[in-house]
Structure 1
Amino acid sequence: MQPLKALIFDVFGTLVDWRTAIAKETEMALSPLGIAIDWLDFADAWRNRYQPAMEEVRSGLIPFAKLDRLHRRNLDLVLAEFGIDRLAEAGRCQLNLAWHRLDAWPDVGPGLQALTAKYLLAPCSNGNISLMVDLARRNGFPWDAILGAEVARAYKPDPRVYLAAAAAFDLAPAQVMMVAAHSSDLAAAAALGLRTAFVARPDEFGPDKGEAAPPLSVDISVSGIVELAQILLSSQETAAPRAP
C-alpha cells in the first residue's frame, strides 16, 4: 500500500460550527432593526438552500459560481421567506460574510497542529478560496494549500474536486485521506480510491441531528481531530517526518 502523505478536510460542520455562528451573526444584523425570530431556524433555513444551489451548478443549469455568490442569492431568498425586507444592501453583504467568520470546534486547532508533523494538510471544501483563507486566518488552520471546489471549478461530490486535490499535491488518490463528518462526502472520495476518516459531529445541525457514526465502511472513525492525529501519528504506516 502506498504511504499516506496528505489529509484533505471538509470544513463546514467537520472543522467549524457553522450553525451557532450564523445564528449569532443573523441576530446581530437583524435585532437592531427590531426583528425577532428564531435565529437558529434562520440559520437552518439558509443552510438548507446550500445543496440545492450547488446542484444547479452540478446539473449544468447554471455555470460555476463561487459559494459566496450562491450564499448571497440564498440569503435574499431566506430573508423573503421570513418576511424580512428591512435589511439594506450593505447589511446583506455584511451578513453574507458571516460564513467567513465561523469558529472551529475545540478539538480542531490542536489536532491539525499535531498532524502537521508528518502530513500535508489542505481543505477540500465547497467554500471558495477567499472564504477558506479567512477561516484559516481566524482559526489558525495550518494549511499547506487551499484546495476544493474553486480549484476544480466543480462542487463535491463531483469526482473532479477530490482528484484535483490529490493532483495538486502530485499524489495518487490512495496517498490522500479525505476527512469529513458527512458520509456522502466520504463515499464519493472512497469511490475514487482515497482513504477516508469519519469525524463524528452529532450536533452539527442541532442536538443529535448530525451524523454520530458512519453508515458506511471507512478507514478510520473518530470523535474529533485530536483523536485522528493520535491514531495516525502512532501508526507504523505514517509518512516520513516533514522537513522544517
Structure 2
Amino acid sequence: MERPEVLQREVKALVFDQYGTIVDMQGGLTEAVTPFLRDKGWDGDPHQFVTWWRRTHYENSMIDALCDRGHTPYRQIGHRAVSHVMDRAGLAYTQDEVRWLVAQIETLKPFPDVIDALHRLRGAGYRLVILSNGDRDMLEAAGPHIGFPFDHVISVQEAGYFKPHWKTYAKAEEIVGLDRSSCLFVANHAFDCVGAKSYGMRTAFIDRRRRPFGETPHQPDLIVKDFGELAAAMGAAVS
C-alpha cells in the first residue's frame, strides 16, 4: 500500500463509485422491499432478496460489457434483474411493480459518515467526482437525495461500457482533465478497485464489511473502514 503522505502529495482528485460506496444500496433497498414483499405474502428474507437482485444485476452488466455488442442502459438491466428475482421467489408481479422497485435506486441515501467526510476532503482542496454504472438520468435524479455538489457526476454511458472496463476509467480521466495517477478511485467493491488500479489510477478500498480484498496484482493503495478514515488518511482536517 502507498504511504498516506505520498497520496496526499500526488492525488488531486477523488473519484467515487456511487452505488454501495456513496449510498447505502443494500440497506436502502432492503428497507424499500420489506413492506413490498410482506404485502406479496413472501416469507423469505428481504435482505437476501436484495442480495439476489444485486448479484443478478452485476452478472448481467458484466455479460453486457464482455459481449461488446453495444451498451445496455443500467435501468434496463435492472428491470431484467428484478424480474428474474421475482420469478426466483415465485412472486406474481406487474411491470409497473418492477419499474417501481428499480426506481428506488434513485432515492438511496448516503452512508452516515459520507457527507461530512466529503466536505472535509473538499476543504483540503481535492476535486470530488462520481463515476457510476448508473444511467445519466438516474444519477441526476439521485443528486438531491445525496445532497452534495460533486465537481463531476459521470455515467459509464459516456464510455459505452460498464465498470470495470478500462474505457470507463479512461473516460473519467478525460472528463476530469487530470492524469490517471493523480486520481484516487474510491469504492466499496474490490472489482471496481481492481479495474481502476489496472488502468493506472490509485485506489482506496472502503472495507465496511470487513472482508479480505482478495489475491490480485492490483492491490489498493489504501484500505479504510469508512469515509471518516479516508478523509483522515488524505489529510483532511476534522470540520
TM-score normalised over the length of structure 1: 0.84
Pick which of 112-121 and 213-222 moved more: 213-222
Contact 1:124 1:165 (C-alpha < 8 Å) held by counterparts: yes
Distance 1:141 1:214, change over 3 A: farther
Match of 2:113 among 86, 107, 111: 107
SS in 1 for 2:67: coil
Taking only aligned residues, the RMSD between alpha carbons, in angstroms, comes to: 2.2
Paired amino acid for 2:226:
G
| Cα distance in 1, alignment partners of residues 202 and 155 from structure 2 | 17
Which residue is equivalent to 1:92? 98
Residue identity over aligned pairs, in percent, reads 25
Contact 2:131 2:172 (C-alpha < 8 Å) held by counterparts: yes
SS in 1 for 2:152: coil
The alpha carbon displacement at 1:62 in A equals 4.8
* Mapped pair 1:49 → 2:74: no
The alpha carbon displacement at 1:109 in A equals 1.0
* Mapped pair 1:182 → 2:189: yes
Match of 1:66 among 63, 70, 73: 73
- For residues 119-140 of structure 1, the C-alpha deviation after alignment (integer angstroms, 9 at most, x for no partner) is 1111112122222223331021
SS in 2 for 1:7: strand
What 5-or-longer segments of structure 2 have no aligned partner? 1-5
Paired amino acid for 2:233:
I
Contact 1:14 1:201 (C-alpha < 8 Å) held by counterparts: no
The aligned runs of 1:105-184 (5 Å cut-off) are 105-117=111-123, 118-184=125-191
| Cα distance in 1, alignment partners of residues 154 and 33 from structure 2 | 28
Contact 2:203 2:221 (C-alpha < 8 Å) held by counterparts: yes
- For residues 25-83 of structure 1, the C-alpha deviation after alignment (integer angstroms, 9 at most, x for no partner) is 11233333444432111111111102211122112265311111101111111111111
TM-score normalised over the length of structure 2: 0.86
Q: Which has the higher helix share?
A: 2
SS in 2 for 1:59: helix
Match of 1:80 among 84, 87, 93: 87
* Mapped pair 1:217 → 2:219: yes
What 5-or-longer segments of structure 1 have no aligned partner? 203-207, 236-244
The alpha carbon displacement at 1:184 in A equals 2.2
Which residue is equivalent to 2:235? 233
